[in-house]
Amino acid sequence: MDGQWDVVVVGLGYVGLPLAVAAAAAGMRVAGLDQDAARVAQLRAGTSYIDDVRDEEIVLAVARGFVATVDPAVLTRADAVVICVPTPLRNAEPDLSAVLESVRMAAIRLRPGALVVLESTTYPGTTTDVVLPILAGTGRQVGADFLLAYSPERIDPGNPGLQLSNTPKIVGGVTARCAAAASELYGRMVQKVVVVSNPAVAELAKLLENTYRQVNIALVNDLAVYCARRGIDVWEVVEAAGTKPFGFHSFRPGPGVGGHCIPVDPMYLTFSGYGAGHRFRLVEQAQEINERMPHFVVDRIVGLLHGRRPVRDARILLLGATYKPDLADDRGAAIVPIAEGLIELGAAPEFHDPYVRQITVRDRVLRRVPRLDESVRAADIVVLLQPHSAYDLVAISDAAALLFDTSGRVVGDGAIRL
């Protein structure tokens, strides 16, 4: 390898930044390319904006030679280019605009023999049918003039036990040489690389992983709705079923499915199915069930307030504005559709979260309570959406006039659970 950079990571978000830091820690020469100048400035100052990457790790990476930049010229001397840009949904269809922009940017700057790896979640065929033609557009041949592979990200935010290094990395190359180069690249950072026969297998494996979670979450969410109508504790049911040592994996219900993967990735699968004349009905139904959960929570709140105070006059305190406990990430968090449903009923919900300072619902900024203890005592109903470790659940349960726990973490008679 004779480039200035062993690897250039394009997109320094929740996927790209941990990858860049891990590569630097493995002794690789790393540059990070991002169009957000503010992000780049933060990294150069040794400050992280990602929960799972500490400031000290950024400082150490910079000391090891990691460079963050907005200048695409770094691509001209990269042995490998790894694309980690967002692939959101737009009108329920995959939006690959950021991927296309990144690939085109790399195509005109790629040095001979360089490896390109796409990590962004997408549908099967993207690497070979979308990315490959752009890179080969100048007459270059894959496997000879450049190398191309797909390797899905497997980041589990907030899980200190599973990092990039000890999570197996799937790699699918367009050719055997492409797969070998990608395997060698990731082999310097992770303990185990799993090579599959082609990029489509790797692309679909990623979708299967998160669709599996979506479907099973939908099953237990649907069960929670049924249990509420029958007066059965769904949490006790899940705990009891979980004692079976084979054939069962416990999933927990919740107020909604947030984050950047589960609400999005299965839609890539259904989109791909339509193109192949196949309909993933189970996936579609799971999506519908999970999307209904915030409405179910609103209905439960209204029901619990019945006979106490009209919902429009009630002081409703929502605790937890992130999609996962102990993270500062509020993407897709259930608090937004829940607050929206309450506002439509004339309520003025308030919220608290140790990590989130502001929540906006339809151009309306929710009031963030300054003092948690006083607000819990003053509320007609406290709704626990995320059981952050910063919350003393026993104290909250004791102080609240009515506690509705959607997380199932409060034990005893002090709360009504989802």
Q: What is the pLDDT of residues 159-213, one digit of tens each?
A: 888 889 999 999 999 999 999 999 999 999 999 999 999 999 999 999 999 999 9
Does 254 share its domain with 164? no
CB 28 within 8 A of CB 6: yes
Residues 265 and 148 in one domain: no
Distance CA 26, CA 20 (A): 10
Q: Are residues 161 and 256 in the same domain?
A: no
In-domain check, residue 345:
yes
pLDDT at 410 over 90: yes
Has residue 2 been placed in a domain?
A: no
Radius of gyration, CA atoms only, the chain? 24
- The Cα 196–Cα 218 span in angstroms is 30
**pLDDT at residue 1 is higher than 60:** no
The answer to whether residues 165 and 256 belong to one domain is no
Catalytic residue selected from 84, 178, 227, 261: 261
Sorted by sequence, the CB contacts under 8 Å of residue 403 that are 6+ apart come out as: 381, 382, 384, 396, 397, 410, 414, 415, 416
Please report whether residue 1 resides in a domain.
no
How confident is the model over 257-301, as pLDDT tens digits? 988 788 899 999 999 999 899 999 999 999 999 999 999 999 999
Q: 296 and 392 share a domain? A: yes
The Cβ-side half-sphere exposure at 403, using a 13 Å CA radius, reads 26
Range of the domain at 230: 211-417
Q: Please count the structural domains in the chain.
A: 2
Q: Is 261 a catalytic residue?
A: yes
Residue 194 to residues 6, 170, 184: CA-CA distances in angstroms? 21, 5, 11
Average pLDDT value for residue range 300-318: 96
Is the full-model pTM beyond 0.75? yes
In this prediction, residue 58 carries a pLDDT of 97
Q: Distance between CA 285 and CA 280 in Å, rounded?
A: 9
CB contact at 8 A, 285 and 218: yes
Q: Domain with 398 in it: what CATH number?
A: 3.40.50.720
Q: What is the model's pLDDT at position 318?
A: 98
Are 251 and 323 in the same domain? yes
In this structure, the answer to whether residues 288 and 390 fall within a common structural domain is yes
Q: Does the pLDDT at position 309 exceed 90?
A: yes
Residue 240 in this model has a pLDDT that exceeds 90:
yes
For all residues of the chain together, what is the average pLDDT? 95
Q: Taking 80 as the threshold, does the pLDDT of residue 3 lie above it?
A: no
Task: Say whether pLDDT at 356 is over 60.
Answer: yes
Same domain? For 328 and 251 the reply is yes
**In which band, very low, low, confident or very high, does the pLDDT at 101 lie, cut at 50, 70 and 90?**
very high
Predicted local confidence at residue 156, as pLDDT:
87
Whether residue 206 lies inside any domain: the answer is no
Last residue of a domain, one of 197, 225, 259: 197
In this structure, is residue 159 part of a structural domain? Answer: yes
| pLDDT tens digits, 42-63 | 999 999 999 889 999 999 999 9
Return the closest-CA partner of residue 348 out of 330, 334, 372, 367: 367
Of 168, 197, 226, which closes a domain? 197
In the chain, what's the furthest Cα-to-Cα distance? 74
Give the model's confidence band at 155: pLDDT under 50 very low, under 70 low, under 90 confident, else very high.
confident
Are 114 and 217 contained in the same domain? no
Last residue of a domain, one of 167, 197, 227: 197
pLDDT of residue 269: 94
Q: Are 208 and 270 in contact (CB under 8 A)?
A: no
pLDDT of residue 287: 95
